[in-house]
A and B are shown apart, each in its own frame.
Chain A
Amino acid sequence: MILQKNEVAPDFTLFATPDQKITLSEFKGKNIILAFYPADWSPVCSDQMALYNEMLKFFKNYNAEIFGISVDSKWCHLAFSQSRNLHFPLLADFESKGEIARKYGVYNEEEGECKRALFVINRDGIIEWSYLSPTAINPGADGILEALETLNTK
């Protein structure tokens, strides 16, 4: 089952680029958005990562960083990022495959991919909001902004 509000966000260290890793716990003090998604290279204009890429300045206003996560390798992420001109990290849940997605309860065993799921994690590393989307549907960003708004007013 997908991790819920008020649960501790499991820590992880994953490749963000071919030679750089990102550790979640190093971002304490910031709000974090985790966007698990099935695969790089989905159809263009409705692409979830491309949408978030346009929204970075809105996320910044909420002191939030966003990370995309899929089971694609760091090299695949690099090519995808370059092709879409993405300005935020894509993390590779690649070895062991899907390990982090499993910890968050959003691994699709049948496809061997992450499910499409969103988490907003507060400054103390606690999950504020989580959402499991139907795989075929890009969940957009309204839920993320609402969750960030709630955090802001606390």
Chain B
Amino acid sequence: MSLKPAVSNTDHAQGNLNADLVIVEYGDYQCPYCGAAYPVLKELMGQFGNQIKFVFRNFPLSEMHQYARSSALAAEAANLQGKFWEMHDAIYENQHYLNESLLLKLAEKLNLDIHQFEKDLENSELAKKVDSDFESGIISGVNGTPSFYVNGKKFDGGAEDLFQLLSTNEE
């Protein structure tokens, strides 16, 4: 199964933006498996970040996870103030305490303009972005979170397996 649409400049990317290796994660901020993958991915990027372009797309399971969608919107709102990854990381690092007031607290901690942040949470463009990420996941064959794509192809494994892949490449 392949990634549709392909990675573009509307995606959130970190690492080496010109890398040949592109990893895409479809994630849900409240999903415990995504939470468990987070530190592994962090280490992966710490070690191999110069070889990887890492992209995050929203895949909130809103019916199952009460705060998944508001978290996705919070990260998108932070993005408008240039702090997508900071918010992404802060949410995963505090996943156990996730609720709406935590999202505001994190925004304060990141020194975001809170008034603007709160306004942006209601921005329908951001809702559309989250929906279109979700829809792209569906047509790309996402069957749970986290789901990973390596250079556009679905990767049948988790974060640990990605680490394995990179470590083997190294040898």
Please list the residues of chain A having a beta carbon within 8 angstroms of any beta carbon in chain B: 44-48, 50-51, 53-55, 58, 84-87, 137-142, 145
Contact = CB atoms under 8 A, between A and B. Distances in A.
Contacts of A58: 135, 138
Contact of B144 (A53, A85, A86, A138): A138
Interface string B40-83: 00000000000000000000011110000000000000000000
B5 interface: no
Contact of A140 (B32, B134, B143): B143
A58 B143 CA distance: 15
A140 B63 contact: no
Contacts of A87: 63
Given A45-B28, A45-B32, A54 B62 contact: yes
A140 B140 CA distance: 9
What are the 8 A-B residue pairs with the smallest beta carbon separation, nearest first? Answer: A46-B144, A140-B143, A138-B143, A142-B141, A140-B141, A45-B31, A85-B63, A45-B33
Contacts of B143: 46, 48, 51, 137-141
Contacts of B1: 140, 142
